[in-house]
């Protein structure tokens, strides 16, 4: 016999269950007739579609989109993803519904390393983000500031070419991957903190090492971010690594900032003649802003540290990786390389080194950059978090869903590009392709994102890339080696173009080469 109290509990639970069904039924009656999620693969209870993913997530998403369609719904643990893989869908999310998708998803590693809510890159769309965006575009990365640091960028590129020329004379191998990272890091270190590499223990060297660790951990999949009951455990050791990275980064930045504050105090006391004409780096600009009272935003020390980290990671890895992919593609496509060298030779007359002022006269170099970013975008997916429900293509995208615009997949889509896997820069010079730019206006090519959350560093990147790539192909041919140390035959053997996991989708193997000088560049260098 069932006791009376137990029977009452059963009746209450049954009534609650029936009431819930009635409420759901009534909501469906009031909802639009075609209200539904986008297509989705079969899911497993608790983990959802976790079993369908692989380390290169953008490739896994592309494979699933080919099977289930360009608008795809996935659930990884408790997190909902919507994957978009066409220009029209990219436009729908990033322009038509831009305000709904103007926020980014944080995760454990990002929270810990970027001082929680102090980050600009991952901050929600609001007062702080708007303030930092304006500061970035008008002060930190405005045309005036970028122009002031032209001599510094030129000197760094010339020193880089001199190092390669010395390696060429000695017939020595160079790790081009590491050398390009050092170059891009030196440039941004000078602009941000007035420091550069000079020995293994330099502040710039420490910063560059930390940047690589940050971009790697930001791009790694952490199961605790998706499976709710796992968030109390550090199953993969990522929390421990993130804490270690943050501790080392904070110590480095604290020393740099403290030294700068002491230097500023001494300057104010002594009023050194000529200091007014000194070009201010990013740190000086940020400290000036932090001293302003009654500003729209009170800039804290953590804000400054986090913003510096944002720009270090954005301007070091992405620039270096884009140049590396371009050089690898040019080695694999000797006809394209020859045509690019002829353009640079024609512009410079081989009487000087190519420079930033030559950029408007290098359309084929710009086409190479676009073609490189089509196949190897610096950030393979644009990810946004929805702040409210949204209808796209007659599908309901629930509030809180993470929308992933898979620009890597779009760059390889035969429905968008003719012969998509072929490296053919001419597509951006001929007919309709000439109108496609890197600003994301056409949505076929989105290497820097688009709209409000487009990358503020694009103007700097598009000054650096043509100059660095132009100088490398103007001054050198390349003897390349595979991952096992075997020399590749130019025009016959191909460099492996596999990727490895990371926030910036770098090449799987370092690019090792012996530079072969086309002429002696030393007389043209400012070193």
The CA distance from 175 to 181, in Å, is 10
Label residue 2 exposed, middle or buried (CB < 10 Å: 0-12, 13-18, 19+). exposed
Compute the Cα dihedral for 156, 159, 165, 168 and give only its sign. negative
Strands, sheet with 402-406, edge to edge from the N-terminal-most edge strand: 71-76, 79-84, 402-406, 381-385
Of 182, 178, 161, 172, which is closest to residue 509 (Cα–Cα)? 178
Question: Are the C-beta atoms of 465 and 376 separated by less than 8 Å?
Answer: no
Question: How distant, in Å, are the alpha carbons of 16, 70, 193 from that of 93?
Answer: 38, 13, 37
Compute the Cα dihedral for 291, 296, 301, 303 and give only its sign. negative
**Stated length of the chain:** 527
Q: Is 404 annotated as a binding residue?
A: no
Of 181, 159, 155, 171, which is closest to residue 478 (Cα–Cα)? 171
3-state secondary structure of 106: coil
What does the buried/exposed string (b/e) look like for 225-250 if buried means 16 or more CB atoms within 10 Å of the residue's CB? bbbeeebeebeeebbebbeebbeebb
Compute the Cα dihedral for 206, 208, 209, 214 and give only its sign. positive
Q: What is the largest CA-CA distance in the chain?
A: 102
Of 39, 60, 59, 38, which is closest to residue 51 (Cα–Cα)? 60
Of 422, 426, 406, 403, which is closest to residue 414 (Cα–Cα)? 422
Phi-psi region of 473 (alpha: psi -120 to 50; beta: other; left: phi over 0): alpha
Label residue 498 exposed, middle or buried (CB < 10 Å: 0-12, 13-18, 19+). exposed
Q: What is the number of other CB atoms lying within 10 angstroms of the CB of residue 431? A: 7
Compute the Cα dihedral for 252, 255, 261, 264 and give only its sign. negative
Compute the Cα dihedral for 234, 236, 242, 244 and give only its sign. positive
DSSP, residue by residue, 232-286? TS-TTSHHHHHHHHHHHHHHHHHHHHHHHHHHHHHHHHHT-TTGGGSPP-HHHHH
Binding residues for heme: 455
Binding residues: 455
């Amino acid at each position: 016999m069932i006791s009376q109290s137990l029977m009452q509990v059963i009746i209450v639970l049954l009534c609650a269950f029936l009431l819930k069904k009635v409420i759901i039924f009534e909501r469906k009656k009031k909802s639009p007739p075609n209200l539904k999620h986008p297509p989705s693969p079969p899911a497993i209870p608790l983990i959802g579609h976790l079993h369908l993913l692989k380390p290169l997530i953008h490739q896994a998403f592309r494979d699933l989109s080919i099977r289930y369609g360009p608008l795809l719904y996935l659930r990884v643990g408790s997190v909902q993803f919507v994957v978009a893989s066409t220009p029209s869908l990219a436009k729908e999310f990033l322009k038509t519904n831009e305000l709904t998708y103007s926020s980014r998803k944080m995760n454990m590693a990002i929270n810990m390393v970027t001082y929680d809510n102090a980050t600009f890159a991952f901050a929600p769309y609001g007062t702080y983000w708007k303030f930092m965006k304006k500061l970035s575009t008008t002060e930190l990365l405005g045309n005036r500031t970028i122009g002031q640091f032209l001599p510094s960028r030129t000197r760094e590129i010339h020193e880089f070419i001199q190092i390669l020329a010395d390696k060429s004379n000695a017939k020595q191998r160079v790790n081009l991957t590491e050398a390009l990272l050092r170059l891009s890091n030196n440039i941004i270190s000078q602009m941000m903190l007035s420091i550069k590499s000079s020995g293994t223990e330099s502040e710039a060297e420490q910063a560059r090492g930390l940047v690589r660790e940050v971009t790697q951990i930001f791009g790694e999949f952490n199961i605790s971010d998706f499976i709710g009951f796992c968030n109390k455990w550090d199953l993969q050791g990522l929390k421990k690594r993130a804490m270690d990275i943050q501790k080392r980064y904070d110590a480095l930045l604290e020393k740099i900032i403290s030294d700068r504050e002491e230097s500023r105090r001494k300057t104010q006391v002594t009023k050194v003649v000529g200091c007014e004409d000194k070009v201010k780096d990013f740190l000086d600009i940020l400290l000036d802003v932090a001293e302003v009272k009654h500003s729209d935003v009170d800039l804290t020390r953590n804000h400054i540290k986090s913003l510096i980290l944002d720009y270090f990671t954005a301007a070091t890895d992405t620039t270096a990786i884009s140049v590396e992919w371009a050089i690898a593609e040019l080695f694999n496509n000797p006809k394209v390389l020859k045509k690019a060298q002829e353009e640079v030779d024609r512009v410079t007359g081989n009487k000087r080194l190519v420079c930033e002022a030559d950029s408007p006269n290098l359309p084929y170099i710009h086409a190479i950059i676009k073609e490189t970013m089509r196949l190897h975008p610096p950030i393979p997916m644009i990810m946004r978090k929805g702040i409210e429900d949204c209808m796209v293509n007659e599908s309901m995208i629930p509030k809180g869903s993470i929308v992933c615009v898979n620009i890597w997949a779009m760059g390889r889509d035969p429905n968008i590009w003719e012969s998509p896997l072929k490296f053919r820069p001419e597509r951006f010079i001929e007919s309709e392709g000439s109108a496609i730019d890197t600003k994301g206006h056409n949505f076929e090519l989105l290497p820097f994102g688009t709209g409000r959350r487009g990358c503020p560093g694009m103007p700097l990147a598009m000054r650096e890339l043509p100059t660095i790539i132009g100088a490398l192909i103007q001054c050198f041919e390349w003897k390349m080696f595979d991952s096992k140390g075997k020399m590749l035959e130019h025009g016959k053997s191909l460099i492996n173009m596999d990727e490895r996991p990371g926030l910036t989708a770098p090449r799987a193997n370092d690019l090792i080469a012996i530079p072969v000088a086309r002429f002696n560049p030393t007389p043209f260098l400012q070193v």
